[in-house]
Structure 1
Amino acid sequence: MSEYQYYEFVAVDRPLTSVQQRELRALSTRARITSSSFVNDYQWGDLKGDPREWMQRYFDAFLYLANWGTHRVALRLPVAVLDPGTAAEYCVGKSACSWATRTHVILDLHSEDEDGDEEYDGGGHLAAILPARAELAVGDRRLLYLAWLLCVQNRELADDEPEPPVPPGLGDLSGPQRALVDFLRLDPDLLDVAAEASTPLKKQTPSAATLLRWVKTLPEPEKNDLVVRLMRGDDSHLRSELLARFHGPASNESTGAGRTAGELLAAADERWSRRQQLAQQREAAERERRERAAAAAREQRLNALAGRQEQEWQRVAVMIETKRRKEYDAAIVLLCDLKALADRDGDAEAFRQRVLQLRERHARKPSLLDRLDRARLG
């Protein structure tokens, strides 16, 4: 398999300036560069730049995959909507880390699979995941918990490492969050175990009257500043920031069950074992059902065949004389039914003698004899 790498960067909050686009073009002559994105794939060579630095300077989202099994996604949010300390509480290992600049906090999530990817078309992955960034911006902490769970899955934490606050709604992830789970190959059993301590997600849709009462409590200078920021259009997360302030941090997370990383892993292993056992039981039951159905169908065929043995032996002879492969195969099937009927009716020796005669008569047809041997006829 040839080497393949895919890079995709997206600017969400602000478009790239013409100067920034020229800076990126100087690093890649064949990349697809627009005012909002940089996309390139490599079957030889590599990106002439540091994705970490690019995230700090240019972009709000980044996705990378390679056909040897590496998946990586990074998201950048303003510190006004995501506290760096909150991000650091969940991003605690090599698989999920975070860092902050003066204005932003950046999450960097990794997944490795030694088996690699048979299909490695990068298109569409980031578009499916990107809305999870907006969900995080309004206070939905499920993405952060998924990052922590990724570190648990990859055994990067001590068994006694306590679980951080568990956000509501883990059992009912959004589409973008589910896309992230799939891209990072998060263990479904581990996720299901974690979701057991998650409360249902409450829809937070305050009425206009409620919002008005809250806005009236804001100091006049602060409201003036907010209006100026809105009119300047230099803060695309202003709505997210205000909603997060309105709802408050307590509405976005629960305290969880006080579990540890080791307890979650053990519970996930137990769940996997139970699921495998149930799957084996279902498979055995289905196999038994198929065998009963096949036996009943065979018995029905034999009953229909009884009393017509001579006619069917004549059919076998006609099929063999055609010297066609398909006719040989059909003759073998019919002979197997005749053998089963003879065994059932106590005529096994008579059947054996007729097959020996048939083999002697067609001794110069190796293809037929091979089929008879494989069917254990003779």
Structure 2
Amino acid sequence: MSRFAAAIGRGIARVTDRALGPYQTAVVRVGFAATWLLFLLREFPHRQEMYGPDGPWSWDLAQQLVAGNGAFTALMWSDSRIWLEAVYGLAVLSAALFLLGWRTRTTSVLFMVGVLSLQNRSVFMGDGGDNVIHLMAIYLVFTRCGQVWSLDARRARLAHAARARGERSPTDRVGPVLWSVLGFALLLASLAGRLDGDWTVFFWGLWAVQGLWWLVGHRARGAEPRVLLDLIANLVHNAALLVIMAEACLIYATAGWYKIQGSRWQDGTAVHYPLHLDYFSPWPALSDLLSANGMLVMLVTYGTVLVQVAFPFALFNRRVKNVLLALMITEHAVIAVVLGLPFFSLAMIAADAVFLPTSFLRWMGGQAARARDGLHRRRPRKDRTLPVPRGRQSAAPGDAEHAPVGFTHERSGT
């Protein structure tokens, strides 16, 4: 009994002492933010047709759907084209800032607002990947996904280094201003009746928690309040991380078991048919080449079902899990090219990234850092040779240290 109690105590300490999977949540943040940002930039010329009041999914149809399911979308607050441009611009900006990890607690909420506003306005504009982005945008709000590979982490690192040198940390002025501006916008939306009861409580709750976090971190005396908030934040983060992992497993398990029930998946010919649909054939020659090989079609069909059904069970064995994970990522990369579904594939790869080993992610981060440093070293230095002043047409190598300031032949600088 004592061993069981000790194990429970260690488990509780593990999920409250720190936020688990910092690299995994960071790569999930980067993956989904990049996917959504690229999608918005590609569809920028078509934004009016997709999400405007005169689009195929009309304003009246969208109003009826939203009124029936209670979904949140800021685009339904006005049918003005200017409002569409503002919401679309906010979605692009929030995705870019979330990708960089700037003020992730705030930009994660704005990222979610942008995703929900556009997707719930026109629900038939996606290809399957939009559903994954929709769910993950909500889950990421509850994670501490800016611990690494973010501007937030860089700012925290610089502040810690300043304190270690005995210097005073710079005052955070951006946070309170951002919190006040968003609070004012939320107040206007609430007074105008644009939010229903559940969403009002949700957004005001997030706003209040953010203010409390800043107040405790900058004004509270003693470490106990901050320790308590860290404990709660770690617990919420770890719960959200578990939900993200469970959601990815559920997607694959559901897809795999539904495929098993289909006759075309049972006889091994299911992959053959989408390769001959014009909508899924951006490279007809490549599709014809792949579909002409019956053995390859059968192997891909059965292999897809096997990997999707087996993956949730493979999580109990690290090596098997890593092999199946590599196969699934490769499969989605092939789907992106062969079937012309890049954003669906990017969304699924971003979801798969939550299972990547920490050692691999740290190695990948180190390689990226070395590549960045290599680019900095290869930059050609500007020639800073200054003209020799009159009366000094030549100088011995040792004369530079005796020359007047500003007239050395070559100066080093940044």
Give the TM-score range, shorter chain: under 0.3
TM-score (norm 2): 0.25
**More RCO (CA 8 Å, sep 6+):** 2
Compare the two structures and name the one with the higher strand fraction.
Answer: 1
Question: Quick check: which one's helix share is greater?
Answer: 2
Q: TM-score by structure 1 length?
A: 0.27
Over alpha carbons, which structure has the higher Rg?
A: 1
